[in-house]
């Protein structure tokens, strides 16, 4: 383990990929975050029975909100810890690191969600004007392809959250611009992050209706784990030493 997760200076592309995969799989903290992700998934899918007591809907809302905050907290802690260290991530480090960045991370996600909602509303309005279709039909079409759309966005902005935590750039628009520039500059090395975030998301988006619950759980875990592999890879890329200047080298 120590031989694989070592100093990342002057690593080749293959070493960066291997380090990301090994570190993700052998990190208990990553599996802890994936467990929180499954908890949130089950909480959001649970429905209150029609004959439930009056206080049960309030309890369900509270538990869902608690699961959401727990998920955000452990995600923030994992992002922060992975961007600072180089070894396998323990659960205790996820919990400790979350304290410093939880508020900033939640505020960033809220701003990103608002921006996404505004952009989507504009696109829907333009699509309605151009196609002449009704809102219900367009909404159903977009819902069917929400998974693939999310996967494409995750690939386009794959360097965003790594950059946020490595460079402590919690401003939304400057961080997005810097991430897009980095993705453009590394377009020739984009096959690995594309494989990690785009292919699983596309596969999950095209799961047939009525698939068994265990298949959705397995897909969620695999997609989440590969997403963390991509995150670690991008963190290592950002922490690589800059290439030597040709003029200085000569």
* pLDDT score of 248 more than 60: no
Mean pLDDT along residues 47-58 = 61
Q: Which residue has the higher pLDDT, 141 or 239?
A: 239
Total number of residues shown for the chain: 250
pLDDT at 250: 38
Residue 186 pLDDT grade (very low, low, confident, very high; cuts 50, 70, 90)? very high
Reported as a pLDDT band with limits 50, 70 and 90, residue 247 is very low
Structure token digits, residue 108:
């960033």
> pLDDT band for position 6 (50/70/90)?
very low
pLDDT-above-70 percentage for the chain: 85
pLDDT tens-digit profile of 55-91? Answer: 566 777 788 888 899 999 999 999 999 999 889 999 9
Q: Inform me whether the pLDDT recorded for 10 exceeds 70.
A: no
Average pLDDT of span 116-122: 89
User: In this predicted model, which residue has the larger pLDDT, 240 or 193?
Assistant: 193
* Residue 42: predicted pLDDT: 82
- Model pTM? 0.85
Q: What is the pLDDT averaged over residues 102-115?
A: 95
CB < 8 Å & 24+ apart, contacts of 7-15: 7/86, 8/86, 8/236, 8/239, 8/240, 9/240, 9/241, 10/240, 10/241, 11/236, 11/240, 13/189, 13/192
Residue 50 has pLDDT above 50, yes or no: yes
The pLDDT value given to residue 82: 95
């Amino acid at each position: 383990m120590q031989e694989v997760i070592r100093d990342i200076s002057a690593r080749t592309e293959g070493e960066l990929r291997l380090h990301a995969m090994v570190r993700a799989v052998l990190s208990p903290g990553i599996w802890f975050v994936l467990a929180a992700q499954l908890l949130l998934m089950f909480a959001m899918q649970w429905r209150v029975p029609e004959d439930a007591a009056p206080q049960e809907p309030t309890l369900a809302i509270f538990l869902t909100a608690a699961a959401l905050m727990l998920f955000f907290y452990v995600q923030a802690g994992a992002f922060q810890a992975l961007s600072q260290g180089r070894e396998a991530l323990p659960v205790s480090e996820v919990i400790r690191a979350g304290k410093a960045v939880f508020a900033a991370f939640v505020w960033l996600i809220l701003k990103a969600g608002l921006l996404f909602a505004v952009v989507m509303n504009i696109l829907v309005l333009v699509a309605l004007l151009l196609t002449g279709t009704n809102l219900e039909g367009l909404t159903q079409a977009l819902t069917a392809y929400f998974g693939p759309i999310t996967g494409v966005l995750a690939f386009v902005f794959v360097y965003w959250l790594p950059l946020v935590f490595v460079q402590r750039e919690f401003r939304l628009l400057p961080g997005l611009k810097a991430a897009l520039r980095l993705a453009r500059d590394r377009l020739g090395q984009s096959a690995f992050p594309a494989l990690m975030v785009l292919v699983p998301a596309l596969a999950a988006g095209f799961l047939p209706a009525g698939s068994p619950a265990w298949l959705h759980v397995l897909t969620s875990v695999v997609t989440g784990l590969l997403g963390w592999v991509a995150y670690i890879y991008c963190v290592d890329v950002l922490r690589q030493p800059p290439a030597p200047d040709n003029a200085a080298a000569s």
